[in-house]
Structure 1
């Protein structure tokens, strides 16, 4: 069990005052520290040049205890005062398991709040000297559930990558979750994984070791299309009639050899009934009087 030793020297009008100020500065209780008196208070002649008391206060605590104290303080500010913290300590790491009501607030969306608090607790635990001490924060067995979910996701995507030859980029994850993904992908033969990007947006890419070549559009390799319809232009062909200066296609003669309609000379047909009456009939009634003989 790694210990963190913190020391502080403090002065006061009395020894008791100096010790109290030192404990407040360290954020610990008086029963948890060692006290060494450096100087006792002294009074000068006629109350002049008084010498204050000086003490040295030493606090020894495990790194896990520092993390527990910090998490307890944060939970108190969040209004969660009835939370129990169970510590599972090992040689170079410790897991702090939170138990109580209202801990959904601590977990947050996809464990983001829990991860942030775990990161800060780790910083507090490693402020002293010594090797790195890993702090893991868990609540409601969330870590185990999340680990199983990530393993299933990684196996599914890895198998798909092997079958299709396509790569898949996952959402940003913290280093702990990325390690779970990498470990699960290694179980699938023919699949591989790598990380891209920078923190906190670093992602895992799952792909196949033998990716398939990309598909090409066969129409691009056939060259230019030809006009299937001859001079008349095939359906969808490129050999279309040119346009004139007005932006319209030129008119062609009819198939019987006659010129276009606007260029024809119309000759009246004498056999046809005139549409307009002659001048001598102007003003006459449309029908004449009909008399019948007896």
Structure 2
């Protein structure tokens, strides 16, 4: 390995870690700062610094490396050297692996800023979706009021994944199955509010919600013919309305 892309909370830390992994000194490499990063506020909105460290190779070493490669190519048959889509797949898988690894590192850094020192992250992949299950005794801090902290963390994690992945992946975060419990709670709330709207003959307005949560309520009530649902306002203050059909 003669090149590495490394992230860390600061540029200096990223360079130090990269040099340790490569086993070289600063005088033997070329350093390119891809992103200076930023601290953010209380860990939110923070961006890790990203550097690319490349080991410098002199001309004699280049000749020594290239010559065996030419000789090897001469003795290979067409099936051995023909282009293969498997190489592209391997590259994509490697890129996705890096993206997931850097995303997990970033979440851990934010957790440290929040004074959470027992965070465990388990990952599962289903096609383009990468599910990261966060576990901690301080789960409430990770979730926040009505999931606001978790939603913000998921958005930041997606940005980090986009930075390192060349193929499309979607990062989904959860803490203690909060997403499933929240969906069940919203579906039950939707039915109660729909019944109230029909009973009183007046429209019912919800508090501002994310587009994902508004969609849950829309879907839960889509089979009812006695009410209609629609959203009003602009994010982040966009809210859902249930109105009875008279």
Instruction: Give the TM-score category using the shorter length.
Output: 0.5 to 0.7
User: Deviation digits for residues 38-59 of structure 1, max 9, x if unmatched?
Assistant: 53399xxxxxxxxxxxxxxx98
SS state at 2:24 partner: helix
User: Deviation digits for residues 152-208 of structure 1, max 9, x if unmatched?
Assistant: 011111233234432111000011111111111113232221111111001011112
Higher fraction of helix: 2
TM-score (norm 1): 0.53
Larger radius of gyration: 1
Task: Give the one of 70, 85, 90 matched to 2:106.
Answer: 70
Counterpart position of 1:176: 212
Counterpart position of 2:194: 158
- The answer to whether residue 180 in structure 2 is matched with residue 144 in structure 1 is yes
* 1:125 Cα deviation after fit: 0.9
User: Deviation digits for residues 103-147 of structure 1, max 9, x if unmatched?
Assistant: 221111111111111111111111245454322211122111111
In the alignment, the residues of structure 2 paired with residue 66 and residue 7 of structure 1 have an alpha-carbon distance, to the nearest angstrom, of: 10
Counterpart position of 1:206: 242
Contact 2:30 2:54 (8 Å CA) reproduced: no
- The answer to whether residue 57 in structure 2 is matched with residue 39 in structure 1 is yes
Contact 2:231 2:239 (8 Å CA) reproduced: yes
Contact 1:169 1:203 (8 Å CA) reproduced: yes
RMSD: 3.7
SS state at 2:108 partner: helix
Cα 1:21/1:174, change in 2 over 3 Å: farther
In the alignment, the residues of structure 2 paired with residue 197 and residue 111 of structure 1 have an alpha-carbon distance, to the nearest angstrom, of: 21
In the alignment, the residues of structure 1 paired with residue 190 and residue 148 of structure 2 have an alpha-carbon distance, to the nearest angstrom, of: 20
Counterpart position of 2:145: 109
Contact 1:158 1:206 (8 Å CA) reproduced: yes
Counterpart position of 2:169: 133
Contact 1:159 1:188 (8 Å CA) reproduced: no
TM-score (norm 2): 0.62
User: Deviation digits for residues 232-262 of structure 1, max 9, x if unmatched?
Assistant: xxxxxxxxxxxxxxxxxxxxxxxxxxxxxxx
Task: Give the one of 21, 25, 41 matched to 1:17.
Answer: 25
Cα 1:180/1:20, change in 2 over 3 Å: farther
SS state at 2:163 partner: coil
Structure 2: any 5+ residue segments left out of the alignment? 7-14, 36-47, 61-90
Contact 2:95 2:164 (8 Å CA) reproduced: no
Contact 2:157 2:171 (8 Å CA) reproduced: yes
Cα 1:20/1:86, change in 2 over 3 Å: farther
In the alignment, the residues of structure 1 paired with residue 30 and residue 114 of structure 2 have an alpha-carbon distance, to the nearest angstrom, of: 27
Q: Which has the higher contact order (CA 8 A, sep 6+)?
A: 2
User: Deviation digits for residues 53-94 of structure 1, max 9, x if unmatched?
Assistant: xxxxx9844333332121011112222222110112221222
In the alignment, the residues of structure 2 paired with residue 206 and residue 36 of structure 1 have an alpha-carbon distance, to the nearest angstrom, of: 59
